[in-house]
Amino acid sequence: MCKLLWIILAFWGTLIQAQNDEYISVYPAFTTSQQIYLFGDQVHLRSEPKSDSKSLTVLEIGSPLIILEDNNQNYSKDEPFWVHVRYNDKAGYIRSDFLSLQTVELNGVPLYTQLENNEDKTTLKIRIPTQSIPAYYEKTFEVFSTMMQLEVFGSKGLKNVRNILHINYFAEACGIDGGGKYIFIDASGHWHDAFSYVQVSDAGIFYWQETLTFPSEHKNGDYILYKSEYMETVYEGDNYGDPIQTEEHKSERVLKWNGSEITPKFKQEPMPVNGW
């Protein structure tokens, strides 16, 4: 059932890409004529879809490529597969794990992305080209979804923050939560895994939603407003038409960015604890 759902999600992802809206997934859907970029460096463009075929050329990280063929037959695969691409006047094959799944710009510099999915965890890899040696440096973050988008923002009104990256999880079925993660980049260029949040629901039985509102959004001081809202169905009725009874719990916290982390630290739980 989960595998079937992933095929549906991959098809939906193709519709997203048709609108030039890239996403990151362990089941990437590449479409004909789509332009993508190379995530790997010193990668061979192969004449055939196998690693021992003739090398047509060697490509650097960020090389622009055009997809020549949809990968519909690979929707159910979560391992690397060969993708038919064109680079300048050469057509050949490159493995999917060497391609950037979503490419965004941070202050004019491209960020190339890939996912590494193991049984124990899923890791988002972000590579930033340097135009020197080494050719790139890489940041890695544990994520709690296998389908997401990367968004780039300014400081959102926070002091000592240059940019904010938002990893926005796509909510999935089969028990996998939505939500996301915020990465702060400070004035010195250091990256901080600042905050993870949850947004999950189960067909009207319950939902839990956490949100952060930043200074440029609430316009009421140099703080981050955290909100948690939880609802669960406690009585569905004994007979058809009986009123459904629910319980809701809402809470707020004022958080601060101290230059290296968000404070105060607290346990994120769906229901209020100790009166907060």
Could you please report the per-residue DSSP string of 84-115? EEEETTEEEEEEGGGB-S-EEEETTEEEEEEE
Query: Is residue 44, in this structure, part of any structural domain at all?
Result: yes
pTM, rounded to two decimals = 0.85
Query: Is residue 222, in this structure, part of any structural domain at all?
Result: yes
Q: Which domain holds residue 54?
A: 2-98
Based on the fold, state whether residues 82 and 158 are members of the same structural domain: no
What is the token pair recorded at 84? 């038919």
Residue 106 CB contacts under 8 Å (≥ 6 apart), including other chains: 128, 152, 163, 165, 185
Which H or E run contains 120? none
Based on the fold, state whether residues 267 and 169 are members of the same structural domain: yes
Based on the fold, state whether residues 152 and 276 are members of the same structural domain: yes
Residue-averaged pLDDT of the chain: 86
What is the predicted pLDDT for the residue at 207? 83
- Domain total of the chain: 2
* CA neighbor of 250 nearest in space, from 212, 276, 274, 215: 276
Question: Which residues are paired to 192 by β-bridges?
Answer: 184
CB-based contact 86:65 (threshold 8 Å): yes
What is the predicted pLDDT for the residue at 273? 43
Query: Is residue 268, in this structure, part of any structural domain at all?
Result: yes
Query: Is residue 105, in this structure, part of any structural domain at all?
Result: no
CB-based contact 38:135 (threshold 8 Å): no
CB-based contact 58:44 (threshold 8 Å): yes
Query: Is residue 106, in this structure, part of any structural domain at all?
Result: no
Mean pLDDT by 10 residues, the chain (276 residues): 39 40 88 97 98 98 97 65 97 98 97 93 97 94 94 97 96 68 97 95 82 97 95 72 76 96 90 45
What is the predicted pLDDT for the residue at 232? 83
Based on the fold, state whether residues 188 and 260 are members of the same structural domain: yes
